[in-house]
Amino acid sequence: MKINLTSVLVEDQDKALTFYTEVLGFVKKTDKPLGNFKWLTVVSPEGPPGIELLLEPNEHPAAKTFQKAIFAAGIPLTSFAVDDVQREYDRLTRLGVVFKTNPTKSEWGTFAIFDDTCGNLIGLHQG
């Protein structure tokens, strides 16, 4: 068993696509109409092939409640691995990304948390 698709809840798929591609550096893989929304995935140009991130609409009331609650609690929805958290923090800060925590060292690695502008906090992790 392996992970090949995971998702992040987003308030606006087009806004999310712009942020995740133009700011974070992911690449659009799939963009297919699906009713009022899209099956919209991005991939990492640096990651192993076959792993996609679905930019999933948060239209279900439970999804909206969950997303708002974990954001308010300061909990990242997910975390992305990077080689150097400080370097990514510096790059993303120059691009206007708002961080909720600066790079912080812990016993399990270095991390930072940012706002993805789509309703989520996202972690960066360096092991």
Q: Over pLDDT 90: what percentage of the chain?
A: 94
Res 48: pLDDT: 86
pTM higher than 0.85 for the full model?
yes
Q: What is the mean pLDDT of the chain?
A: 96
Q: Is the pLDDT of residue 118 over 90?
A: yes
Res 127: pLDDT: 81
Q: Over pLDDT 70: what percentage of the chain?
A: 100
Order of strands, sheet of 109-115, starting from the edge strand that comes earlier in the sequence: 78-81, 121-126, 109-115, 99-106
Tokens 């909720």 correspond to 100
CATH number of 5-126: 3.10.180.10
Res 105: pLDDT: 96
